[in-house]
Amino acid sequence: MSPFDASPFDADRAVDRRRLKRGLTFWRIAAIVLAAILGGIVFRATDIGGSGAFKGDRIAELTIDGFIAPDDELYDRLDEAREDPAVKALILRIDSGGGSSIGGELNYEKLREVAAEKPVVAVMEGIAASAAYMTALGADRIYAHGETLTGSIGVYLQAVEATELLRSIGIEADLIKSSVIKGQPNPLEALSDEARAALADVVADSYGYFRGLVADRRSLAGEKLDAVADGRVFTGRQALAAGLIDGLGGKKAALAWLEGEKGLDADLPIEDITPRPEDGRGLLGAAADAAVEALLKNTELSERLRVDGLVSVWQPRP
């Protein structure tokens, strides 16, 4: 029988079957989404923040990596570790080339708050330079591997001036300002001598703060301080010789120090309290974060979008 010979009854049944299939597909998808959401809720309730799997005495471990910037979720985790009497110590793992100066300062201050209550030991992994080294200074003890890159003690402020480029394509910018310095640096005008001097003072003040932390926390002064605070980077071995760290090693060395110097049991369970992308933002938020991170990963744009202000970072440029 030809398809054109089908009865109206058969056609109606075919339409009904298609509707039924579409309905079943919708509910299957809805069930999968609901299960994922409920699974995420259960996961956060039992795992995130360390309130589920770990109840007894333990050592907290937190990793700071990537670009250093203010992070409220990170500070909440550190506050929780500080306030929890069952958390006996904190191991901080750092793998970062630095970031914003304010990010390094806030990390340092928060770690000193934790250190006032319990031991904090930092382990620097592949790199812990500039604002990341400033972060490490908040620990009571600092370890690095022999090939770790660290140091880069300094601050810079970078600005782009595009007046010649704009002029070459026939664009002139008019600016009306309350003073010569207002709004500088600005790509639409050349940096004035007055603004350059004012910005140099800002950089010098921030650098003075960083240098002072190194002097205080590492007991360095005079020529020894000058030799490490000129922006150069060091391997872990060089950093040890220069007095920037306390020893070579990783987590095992950190645990040995906690046991030998602080009397803690090195076999205590270790709880990872590092904030994860999905923490507190839901599944859709985590997916959006992951998509943006994938687009920006390993690009100059990612750093520029995350920071506005003075920078304490080490990154070799081609």
249-275 residue pLDDT tens: 999 999 999 999 999 998 999 999 999
Cα of 136 vs its chain's centroid, Å: 13
Span 217-231, average pLDDT: 97
pLDDT at residue 40 above 60? no
200, 192 Cβ separation under 8 angstroms? no
pLDDT-based confidence at residue 306 (cuts at 50, 70, 90) = very low
The per-residue pLDDT for 181 is 87
pTM: 0.74
pLDDT at residue 224 above 70? yes
pLDDT at residue 290 above 80? no
By DSSP bridging, strand 247-248 and strand 311-313 are unpaired
Per-residue pLDDT reduced to its tens digit, 115-166: 999 999 999 999 999 999 999 999 999 999 999 999 999 998 888 888 888 8
Phi, psi dihedral angles at 209 (to 5 degrees): -65, -50
* 158 closest CA partner among 304, 305, 10, 12: 304
Residues whose CB is less than 8 angstroms from the CB of residue 248 and which lie 6 or more positions away in sequence, other chains included: 143, 144, 145, 146, 236, 237, 240
Residues classed as catalytic: 130, 182
**CA–CA separation, 127 vs 64, rounded Å?**
11
Span 232-261, average pLDDT: 97
Return the structure tokens found at 200. Answer: 């140099």
Q: Which residue has the higher pLDDT, 8 or 24?
A: 24
The per-residue pLDDT for 114 is 98
pLDDT-based confidence at residue 314 (cuts at 50, 70, 90) = low
- The chain-wide mean pLDDT, for the chain, equals 82
